[in-house]
């Protein structure tokens, strides 16, 4: 039975979508609803509401080993993006042009039609609150938002929670080469940064930069490191890090001796127990308050510290963030003749294409025809 638009506010309230990580029903109870529907020969999600189907989509265990399912980071990212979409529709629906005349069975998701996505995308990049603050969504952000919305609504259609493939209304969002931010940092730039922090005796930032640029860690991987992740290498000698990356996949990253020493100096500056004496379950790197960095705080902290020495870093045109040192690791590895596949594995990339984005400009220069010129070509001027 369909309800008139007048009941829109009553049936679909913003607060109904809050606290998705603390829902009214547990995943076990939702599984029981699915089992009951299956027993009655009904659609498994026949009794689900919007909040429940959203929770199931985000947290469903698809693999026998839960470690192979979406990581907590990915689940949180999907939840945040989908919740933001819902809030936008509920708070700015009229402004966006979401002309829902009838609410189907009290469900926002079942009432969305293809044109609403087109209007939403237009509004998002031209009149949303973020834009009104004078900011601009990057092409990569728009592409990510589009991918998450498309994935979710295609899922709803596939499991027959909705009857129309409304995701066809989403315009394709791609990131062109020219749209990508410049994150190319060479080894000379890294040395300049390290020396600047060395000169002002800043072991915390020195350690952060040296670890990031010699391991290629993602921000979140760095923040999640525990003392126990530093292992003694009984085969090759020295030490290595055990890192849990995307998809809960682990990789081992060798630690050069001076890098390990920078970690010790970091912990000494933070007045933390040294590695041999520390609880292995405690954070390897901490804030001044002794807590683990969050990815957002790490970005904020390093930006603030880079701003303090911007004069010493004159000539570096790249916007310095923790992530650019991951690019620096890839570039430095390639300049040291590392194979692209080995760099891909070291970074924890699933696809070579992702690594190639990191190395795009290096490859272009390596492959330039001038590198094939013989030594006697214009030799007087070259």
pLDDT in tens, 215-237: 999 999 999 999 999 999 999 99
Instruction: Please state the pTM of the whole predicted model.
Output: 0.66
Is the model's pLDDT at 141 over the cut of 80? yes
Higher pLDDT: 285 or 363? It is 285
Is the model's pLDDT at 287 over the cut of 90? yes
Cα–Cα distance measured from residue 208 to residue 305, given in angstroms and rounded to the nearest whole number: 11
Mean pLDDT calculated for residue range 355-362: 85
The mean pLDDT value of the chain amounts to 85
What are the φ/ψ torsions at residue 68 (nearest 5 degrees)? -90, -5
To the nearest 10 degrees (0 to 180), the angle between helices 340-347 and 324-335 is 150
Q: Poorest-confidence range of 134-143, 156-165, 205-214, 217-226?
A: 134-143
- Alpha helices (runs of H) in 159-256, residue ranges in sequence order: 187-199, 203-215, 219-224
| Percent of the chain scoring above 70 in pLDDT | 86
Q: Confidence band (pLDDT; 50, 70, 90) for 184?
A: confident
Sign of the Cα pseudo-torsion (100, 103, 107, 113, in order): negative
Strand bridging mode 250-255 / 2-4: unpaired
Mean pLDDT calculated for residue range 248-264: 94
Do residues 168 and 154 lie in contact, with contact meaning Cβ atoms separated by under 8 Å? no
Structure confidence at residue 65 (pLDDT): 64
Is the model's pLDDT at 329 over the cut of 90? yes
Structure confidence at residue 274 (pLDDT): 93
pLDDT digits over 83-123, tens only?
999 999 888 888 888 877 666 667 889 989 899 999 999 99
- Alpha helices (runs of H) in the chain, residue ranges in sequence order: 8-11, 27-39, 50-59, 72-96, 114-124, 129-132, 139-158, 187-199, 203-215, 219-224, 257-269, 295-308, 324-335, 340-347, 352-358, 360-366
Structure confidence at residue 95 (pLDDT): 85
User: Is residue 103 within a helix (H) or strand (E), and if so which, with residue range?
Assistant: strand 102-104
Q: Confidence band (pLDDT; 50, 70, 90) for 3?
A: very low
Mean pLDDT calculated for residue range 189-206: 95
Q: Which domains are seen in the chain, by residue range? A: 2-175 (no CATH), 187-366 (1.10.443.10)
User: Is residue 240 within a helix (H) or strand (E), and if so which, with residue range?
Assistant: strand 239-244
């Amino acid at each position: 039975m369909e309800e008139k638009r007048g009941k829109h506010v009553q049936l679909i309230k913003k607060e109904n979508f809050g606290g998705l990580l603390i829902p009214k029903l547990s995943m076990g109870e939702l599984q029981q609803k699915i089992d009951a529907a299956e027993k009655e020969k009904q659609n498994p999600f026949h009794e689900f509401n919007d909040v429940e189907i959203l929770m199931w989509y985000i947290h469903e265990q698809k693999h026998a080993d839960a470690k192979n399912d979406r990581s907590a980071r990915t689940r949180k990212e999907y939840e945040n993006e989908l919740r933001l979409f819902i809030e936008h529709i509920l708070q700015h629906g009229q402004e966006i042009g979401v002309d829902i005349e009838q609410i189907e069975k009290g469900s926002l998701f079942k009432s969305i039609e293809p044109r609403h996505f087109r209007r939403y995308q237009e509004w998002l990049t031209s009149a949303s609150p973020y834009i009104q603050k004078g900011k601009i969504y990057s092409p990569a952000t728009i592409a990510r938002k589009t991918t998450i919305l498309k994935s979710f609504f295609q899922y709803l259609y596939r499991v027959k929670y909705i009857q129309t493939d409304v995701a066809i209304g989403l315009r394709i969002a791609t990131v062109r080469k020219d749209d990508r931010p410049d994150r190319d940092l060479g080894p000379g730039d890294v040395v300049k940064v390290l020396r600047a922090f060395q000169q002002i005796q800043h072991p915390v930032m020195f350690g952060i930069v040296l670890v990031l640029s010699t391991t290629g860690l993602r921000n979140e991987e760095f923040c999640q490191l525990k003392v126990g992740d530093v292992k003694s290498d009984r085969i090759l000698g020295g030490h290595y890090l055990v890192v849990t990356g995307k998809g809960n996949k682990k990789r081992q990253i060798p630690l050069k001796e001076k890098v390990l020493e920078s970690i010790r100096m970091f912990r000494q500056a933070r007045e933390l127990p040294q590695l041999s004496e520390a609880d292995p379950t405690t954070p390897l790197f901490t804030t001044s308050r002794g807590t683990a960095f969050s990815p957002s705080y790490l970005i904020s902290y390093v930006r603030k510290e880079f701003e303090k020495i911007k004069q010493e870093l004159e000539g570096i045109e790249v916007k310095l963030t923790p992530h650019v040192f991951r690019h620096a690791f890839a570039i430095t590895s390639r300049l040291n003749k590392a194979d692209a596949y080995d760099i891909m594995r070291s970074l924890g990339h699933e696809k070579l294409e992702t690594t190639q984005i990191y190395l795009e400009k290096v490859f272009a220069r390596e492959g330039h025809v001038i590198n094939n010129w013989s030594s006697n070509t214009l030799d007087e001027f070259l």
